Amino acid sequence: MGIKNKGCLEVNIGSIKMQNPVMVASGTFGYGEEYSELVDINKLGAVVTKTITLEPREGNPPPRMIETPSGMINSIGLQNVGVEEFVDKKLPFLKKFKARIIVSIAGNTVEEYAQLASILDKEKIDGIELNISCPNVMHAGGKTLFAQDAAITDELVHKARKATSLPLIIKLSPNVTDIVEIAVRAEDAGADALSLVNTFQAMAVKINNGGVSKIITGGLSGPAIKPIALRMVWEVAHNVEIPVIGMGGIMDVEDAIEFLIAGASAVAVGTAMFINPQAPVKIIAGIEEYLRKNKLGSVRELQERNNRR
């Protein structure tokens, strides 16, 4: 039995009004078509697309994924069809559904982010996520991620802000000394919301008896990173005024509620999709049931009640 007022699940991420606070994270849901027969997209708060670049990318050579204790490492390398094919062939499918459409983008330079934002500004989407923190791709001429440099983050967000009137969500990296500093710079530069955290830089060694072992480096996700991600969401949410989207090891409703209590306005489900495509829908139903049982009228009320303690 659900709660009487379905509106209690509604949340706002900047000017993006979502029917519930549950999103699917970039890179785990493809372009939507891949999961459309496995999950009811109309029930999701938002779909964050696979990260799009100006030109098509083949990504990194295999092996690109490996399971680890309580998690997985991926090194896909932003494989995607490029913005032109995405707009022409992938985006029309997503527009059929009620879920909000947030397009994740990445560039080799600051200028490429602005160019992508300008292209997407003409499309009927709900927002843009600037993926400045993919651990498998370094910016041109550099040895660090955009999100690891406060000054570059500032410049990048400023230029993207000038290129589009769409809401901008900045995806931050946990691979930094002070994530709050980067978050504040992104907010000051014009970000409408922040999403965190992206994956942690990690490595796995696959041992072959009598043969050559394989070393895989990439981004670690899944339950293993949740306690650290939760702490970072808490720190950032209490130091910025804009909404925070929490992610990192959210596998079930309890995980999602923990992130909401820590200060996230919404949550994104990622690695769980590889285990159970129904995970985000179950989490939505679970949040609804939790609010009903605890006589809470909204997600915001859940946050306010816990912050008073």
Burial 183-213 (b: 16+ CB within 10 A, else e): bbbbbebbbbbbbbbbbbbbebeeeeeeeee
134 noted as active-site residue: yes
Distances in Å between the Cα of 244 and the Cα atoms of 14, 18, 40, 112 are 10, 14, 25, 25
What's the alpha-carbon Rg for the chain, to the nearest Å?
18
Q: Cβ(141)–Cβ(167) under 8 Å?
A: no
Question: 10 Å Cβ neighbour count for 17?
Answer: 12
d(CA 116, CA 309): 44
> Do 218 and 135 touch, CB atoms closer than 8 A?
yes
Query: How wide is the angle at C-alpha 224 spanned by C-alphas 45 and 233, nearest 5°?
Result: 50
Q: Judging by beta carbons within 10 Å of its beta carbon (0-12, 13-18, 19+), is residue 68 exposed, middle or buried? A: middle
Q: Which of 217, 223, 216, 166 is nearest to 190 (CA)?
A: 166
- Which of 18, 103, 134, 244 is catalytic? The answer is 134
Q: State the alpha helices, DSSP H only, in the chain.
A: 83-85, 91-94, 110-120, 150-163, 179-188, 226-237, 253-262, 272-275, 279-293, 299-307
Could you tell me which of 60, 109, 100, 63 has the C-alpha nearest to residue 80? 60
So which residues are the catalytic ones? 134
